[in-house]
Chains A and B, each alone.
Chain A
Amino acid sequence: MQKIVTLYLSTSPYSYENTLTSVRIAESALNKGHTVNLIASADGVYCFLTKQKAKGILNAEEEFTRLIQKGLKVYL
């Protein structure tokens, strides 16, 4: 049964593991056909800035761009 999964992300993209956890859960839920919302608040909004240059760690911009194309709905 399709469900709505809503994630709340409030930490900056590279200081904590939460970005990766959110990406992985969102991707898995999207792959299973669920509706996935992500609410970015406080420092979480920095995950959605463009021109991020992170290397050696998951690039938040690239990952969330990919997930948005798969149907992730993001609210800042």
Chain B
Amino acid sequence: MAAVAMILKRSPYGDINAAEAVRHALGAVSFEMGVDLILMDGGVLLAKKGQDDTGTGFTNLEGVLRDCLDMGVAVYADDISLKNRRVAAESVIEGVKTVGGTAIAGFIKEAKTTMIF
């Protein structure tokens, strides 16, 4: 059971929510809290491979998501949202698990706390 389920609904870069979600996920996991990071709606676009920040001034959020995975954050992407946003399975960052709505409901139900970005 995760202590925190973080749900990211907003797509990366257009606003601060994706950056905040991964930042807080890293913060929580560094305090040895169990974290589920659940990507839904536009949030699944965070899991897309090949993000290139060269010359843009942004922090590459693909890199931060990979850091989350390395640190032990469980990252899930909603299968319907991936399909709707045309993110093919081979384009999803390794380690991100594709799951359905029932599984996501289960993660949220079991988590002690939920944060929505």
Which A residues lie at the B interface, using CB under 8 A?
A: 14-17, 20, 56-58
Docked-complex contact A15 and B57, CB < 8 angstroms: no
Complex Cα spacing A16 to B17, Å:
9
B15 close to A (CB within 8 Å) = yes
A58 / chain B contacts, CB cutoff of 8 Å: 57-58
B interface residues, how many (CB within 8 angstroms):
9
B59 close to chain A: CB less than 8 A: yes
**Shortest distance from the beta carbon of B104 to any chain A beta carbon, whole Å:** 26
Say yes or no: is B106 at the interface (Cβ < 8 Å to chain A): no
Listed from nearest, the 8 A-B pairs whose CB atoms lie closest are A58-B57, A15-B16, A56-B59, A16-B15, A17-B14, A15-B15, A17-B13, A14-B16
Is B57 touching A57 in the complex (CB atoms < 8 A)? yes
Bound: A57/B15 CA distance, A: 12
CB-nearest residue of chain A to B55: A24
Q: What are 5 sample pairs from A and B whose C-beta atoms fall under 8 A apart? A: A15-B16, A16-B15, A17-B15, A20-B56, A57-B57
User: Chain B residues near A14 (CB, 8 Å)?
Assistant: 16
Residue among B14, B16, B19, B57 having the largest count of chain A Cβ atoms under 10 Å? B57
Known: A17-B14, A56-B59, A58-B57; 15 extra A-B contacts, CB below 8 A, are A14-B16, A15-B16, A16-B14, A16-B15, A16-B16, A17-B13, A17-B15, A20-B56, A20-B57, A20-B58, A57-B19, A57-B57, A57-B58, A57-B59, A58-B58
